[in-house]
């Protein structure tokens, strides 16, 4: 099958919807006909793993044929165990989604180094923006990239030297309901400036919705609307957000990946 395309979700800050977005991405790609594997590097919180386990339980309970990804959680974190998990899943998958913990550690850095597509979810706030760049408190202009941006730059440079391939770094801009429009414009302007300096793409992510918290216990996604029971306009709007996000990720088709 060739080497799978690896999508790593990484952000050292918590509360950005990283695991939920990773699961939705995995299922959306499976719905598009891809063979998807998933690796959870957060053996303590296990949010991605719990999501997929809840999905398996729903499949058994309702006797439904829901799309699913093959998934593993790495209990003992090491680069060797990450490599072994990628080898096992890569034998049957052409896409592997990695969910990293909300902290900096050697295995998370190794997962970033493995990424063909690196996704950094962030909320529309200067608290989250501080992860990748610092701004002037009066003008809100970017003063310098952050430690994390420097880390990603180093990892991308290292990967280019090792395998001769670049990394598509995507900042996923999630929307918070309580952020006013003036603040949104300031965050957006700072992101645009940083993207040119640091070298990432910005795409729209998902909105802050109660829906996502309600889907977790059953392991369902917005692509499972037929199994959600009562569906409202909010569900339809959220599903469209998801579809736009997946399109924005621009994951190459399996044939394109092989040809590359």
For 46: left if phi > 0, alpha if psi spans -120 to 50, otherwise beta; the answer is: left
pLDDT of res. 177? 61
Bridge-based pairing of strands 70-73 and 168-175 is unpaired
pLDDT band at residue 20 under the 50/70/90 scheme: very high
Average pLDDT score over the chain? 90
Domain boundaries, the chain: 5-259
Instruction: Enumerate the H helices of 115-205 as residue ranges.
Output: 126-129, 147-163, 181-194
Measured distance CA(207)–CA(172) in Å, rounded: 11
Q: What confidence tens digit (pLDDT) does each residue in 95-129 have?
A: 999 999 988 889 999 999 999 999 999 988 888 89
What is the pTM for the complete model shown? 0.92
- Among 3, 223, 23, 25, which residue's Cα sits nearest to residue 93? 3
Q: Is 199 within 8 Å of 167 (Cβ atoms)?
A: no
CATH architecture, range 5-259: 3-Layer(aba) Sandwich (3.40)
């Amino acid at each position: 099958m060739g080497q799978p395309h690896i999508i790593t979700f990484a952000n050292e800050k918590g509360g950005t919807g990283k695991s939920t977005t990773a699961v939705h991405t995995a299922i959306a790609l499976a719905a598009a006909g891809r063979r998807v594997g998933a690796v959870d590097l957060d053996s303590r919180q296990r949010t991605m793993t719990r999501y997929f386990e809840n999905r398996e339980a729903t499949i058994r309970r309702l006797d439904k044929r829901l799309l699913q990804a093959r998934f593993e959680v790495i209990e003992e974190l090491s680069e060797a165990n990450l490599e072994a998990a990628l080898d096992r899943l890569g034998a049957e998958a052409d896409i592997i989604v990695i969910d990293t913990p909300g902290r900096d550690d050697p295995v998370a850095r190794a997962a970033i180094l493995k990424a063909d597509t690196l996704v950094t979810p962030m909320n529309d706030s200067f608290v989250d923006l501080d992860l990748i760049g610092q701004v002037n408190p009066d003008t809100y202009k970017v003063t310098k990239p952050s430690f994390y941006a420097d880390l990603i730059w180093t990892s991308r440079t290292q990967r280019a030297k090792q395998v001769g391939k670049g990394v598509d770094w995507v900042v996923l801009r999630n929307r918070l309901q309580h952020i006013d429009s003036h603040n949104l414009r300031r965050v957006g302007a700072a992101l645009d400036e940083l993207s040119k300096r640091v070298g990432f793409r910005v795409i729209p992510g998902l909105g802050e919705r109660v829906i996502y918290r309600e889907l977790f216990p059953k392991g369902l996604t917005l692509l499972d609307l037929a199994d959600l029971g009562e569906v409202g306009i909010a569900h339809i709007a959220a599903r469209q957000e998801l579809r736009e996000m997946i399109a924005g990720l621009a994951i190459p088709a399996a044939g394109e990946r092989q040809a590359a």
